[in-house]
A and B are shown apart, each in its own frame.
Chain A
């Protein structure tokens, strides 16, 4: 922090000296104020530059972790779904499937602090205080067996922590190691014996379906043979399916007629803050949070295949149902409404915005 203060002092001095035109080519822009620099300059470097004053222990870290991180990274930092694994993996870097975690791969603790503080939790970044960040980083160290359970991390001892893979990196050496191999006179003829196919993408078959495009503009849909497409293109077919498809939206319009379309649209826009965890609409699946089709009018904790937090399960067992009213109360302050739930979201203060969100969810609930 002393370095940080010095920086601010220097800044103030520079500001005083920066009279119009002073060594500036253009004189555009204005001096950055110390409060502005404080707000944005949150970078922390391996040598401790930028580290704020604060501290946190493993115990508090575990609680903050469960509330803010576990939904994606697992209770023990083991990872969930396809989200990053944070702990474990030590000794796997030479394996066919290396597990790159904070403990097994990350060379600097400063990176963990910097990233957690500025970019986590995903979908609600910058809600963690400095002390909470120290505590979560302490818990990550503990879950990687780098420190004991009584460890307290602070700005005082931060740079003393040595990461297991600190010496695991070399600076790019391609020019030294690869250029001698690849800067050559390329062979043009009879460069090798005839070659054979050794691997095929079709053996793995993980490519999403795609149309193929022919030179004449014909589009061959996935699963269709090129010849079939040409045949189809040359044959008149009935137009009935088109008419059927056209009839469907009308029925939907009737169902949601009681909702204000403008409100639903506003809700769809507001839902952006939710969609990093929740899906809704056609094909919605459980993600970090449960899928929300049909949520309005549904008993809480009722989506099949979703692992709810104990707090949520308890609420569900009490017979709680999601109505527009209960959703409104929940969304206003999720952690007040269901204490210790795992939804890392601070809530929606604006009542109109909540109404829009609920209208949007209702439009997917009939």
Chain B
């Protein structure tokens, strides 16, 4: 290790990365010894030798005016499953939930779903219209929105198709792919109610139709009660401006309801006497049942959970002994009140420890501090929300809905963890 040149740690990738891996390998050896309670036989050079970073100086301030994660974390990225869609412009990718902890999703790796690509629009170009059954059809600029009373809230945004590939059986291998069409952010925005009151909703107005500036427009109808309740016209997320791919400069937040309704690049809010029955609420985002009829207006995301680690992308390769089993739980109908975890495929359960105070319609983190005996496990998690709804098994859902729903698959996920700690997406019966 002593032959490292003094600038090696500054380089991304290449030789310095290789050196890092060597270091990591040595460190891993030490960790394995610690895990089994054994002593180190030889002194750890990371401790006994002076490391370059302990002697030379590091990067100056302003080296990266807006920082990215250190390059060692370059694999914690959104990933796409190409065969899912005809074209990456009208497509989706997945949040690396397996590699994150806590509940807030960093914007840079929060999943994207576009229907005609992410558009580039400045704040100066931004216009928002309210019309239809209102007393005063109005046009707002971005600056107008910034002068209105703001509120904040944390909310999860889950695509209705999250886990949709799993209706027929275990298919995609990884929590990112089975459950990664979700993110959870702290939003700042103007309540939709404030804008509607500014325009004055007429008595015959029952529905609010929202559409985007992009070519798809992605219009959706929202009942007036929901629009007046908790929707936000948001422009900040996690403390900074929205990212382009999430609707910069303005998107709609519809807490607890399917992600397709969270219209990005929000252009128009129109009050109607009826639902518009747009493409996104008839031909798509409707749930075909076994008998050939389809449910529509299935807005709420039912209670759901997943163990994010261990999972196929983050194996428990550390071997027997103490380990952390962790995951996420959420409900579009309120707060998570409890999460149970099973290690034998649902025969026996233990109650997980919930981190922090669960918030309504936001991701909740849970942990089980487990001492693993090294035998294979069938890991499952089961969420319970404040309505008393208990997350069902996939077979329970299939018994009600059949296999063709595509959307709203909130069934219990099973990971098989083998003796080596490697995990696989499986189903049990």
Contact = CB atoms under 8 A, between A and B. Distances in A.
A250 to B, nearest CB: 16
A100 B285 CA distance: 12
Contacts of A188: 340, 348-350
Contacts of A100: 283, 288
A173 B137 contact: no
Contact of B314 (A122, A125, A171, A212): A212
B347 A47 contact: no
Nearest to A194: B347
B88 to A, nearest CB: 9
B315 A226 contact: yes
Contacts of B288: 93, 98, 100
A26 B148 contact: yes
Contacts of B112: none
B429 interface: yes
Interface in A194-208: 194-202, 204, 206-208
Contacts of A202: 173, 424
A184 interface: yes
B198 A173 contact: no
Contact of B347 (A24, A195, A272): A195
Nearest to B74: A219
- The dominant DSSP class at the A interface is loop
Given A28-B198, A41-B268, A182-B390, A213 B79 contact: no
Interface stretch (A57-65, A105-113, A290-298, A349-357): A105-113
Chain A CB within 10 A, most for which of B170, B277, B299? B277
B216 interface: yes
B160 to A, nearest CB: 12
Interface string A278-294: 00000000011000000
A338 interface: no
Nearest to A102: B283
Nearest to B297: A172
Interface in B1-41: 14-15, 18, 21-22, 24-29, 31
A105 B287 CA distance: 11
A199 B170 contact: yes
B173 A207 contact: yes
Contacts of B138: 29-32
Contacts of A30: 138-139
A45 B276 contact: yes
Given A214-B28, A230-B25, A219 B75 contact: yes
Interface stretch (B151-159, B248-256, B360-368, B396-404): B396-404
A162 interface: no
B200 interface: yes
Interface string B199-220: 0100000000101000111010
A36 B98 CA distance: 46
B46 interface: no
Interface string B164-179: 0000011111101100
Contact of B346 (A111, A192, A208, A230): A192
Interface in B63-118: 72, 75-76, 79-83, 85-87, 89-90, 98-99, 115-117
A84 B299 CA distance: 24
A98 B404 contact: yes
Contact of A29 (B86, B140, B290, B420): B140
Contact of A111 (B270, B282, B315): B282
A81 B90 CA distance: 14
Interface in B262-282: 267-268, 270, 272-279, 282
Given A45-B277, A119-B215, A192-B346, A218 B25 contact: yes
Interface stretch (B49-57, B233-241, B380-388): B380-388
A201 B282 contact: no
A35 B295 CA distance: 38
A181 B388 CA distance: 11
A43 B116 CA distance: 18
B170 A169 contact: no
Contacts of A288: 87
Contact of A170 (B14, B21, B293): B293
Contacts of B229: none
Contacts of B392: 178, 181-182
Interface stretch (A232-240, A256-264, A299-307): A232-240
Interface string B306-332: 000000111101100000000000000
Contact of B389 (A182, A187, A208, A210): A182
Chain B CB within 10 A, most for which of A36, A81, A111, A177? A111
A196 B211 CA distance: 47
Given A182-B392, A208-B79, A168 B294 contact: yes
Nearest to A189: B348
Contacts of B211: 43
A275 B345 CA distance: 46
B186 interface: no
B355 interface: no
Given A122-B90, A198-B428, A94 B291 contact: yes
Contacts of B62: none
Interface in A227-278: 230-237, 239, 242, 272, 275-276
Given A111-B277, A177-B400, A178-B400, A213 B131 contact: no
A237 to B, nearest CB: 7
Given A215-B318, A233-B24, A234-B22, A207 B81 contact: yes
Interface of B: 14-15, 18, 21-22, 24-29, 31, 72, 75-76, 79-83, 85-87, 89-90, 98-99, 115-117, 129-132, 134-140, 144, 147-148, 169-174, 176-177, 194, 197-198, 200, 209, 211, 215-217, 219, 267-268, 270, 272-279, 282-283, 286, 288, 290-300, 302, 312-315, 317-318, 340, 344-350, 378, 382, 384, 387-392, 396, 400, 403-404, 416, 420-422, 424-429
Interface of A: 7, 11, 14-15, 17-18, 22-26, 28-32, 36-37, 40-41, 43-47, 49, 72, 81-84, 93-94, 96, 98, 100, 102, 105-108, 110-111, 114-115, 118-119, 122-123, 125-126, 168-174, 177-179, 181-184, 186-202, 204, 206-208, 210-219, 226, 230-237, 239, 242, 272, 275-276, 287-288
27 contacts: A22-B136, A24-B136, A25-B194, A29-B139, A29-B198, A43-B278, A44-B276, A45-B276, A45-B277, A108-B282, A110-B277, A111-B282, A118-B217, A122-B215, A172-B298, A181-B396, A195-B346, A196-B429, A197-B428, A204-B169, A212-B314, A213-B98, A214-B317, A232-B25, A233-B22, A242-B15, A287-B87
Given A200-B416, A204-B171, A213-B313, 15 more contacts: A28-B147, A36-B139, A37-B129, A49-B274, A111-B277, A119-B279, A183-B388, A187-B349, A196-B428, A199-B169, A213-B98, A217-B24, A226-B422, A233-B28, A276-B116
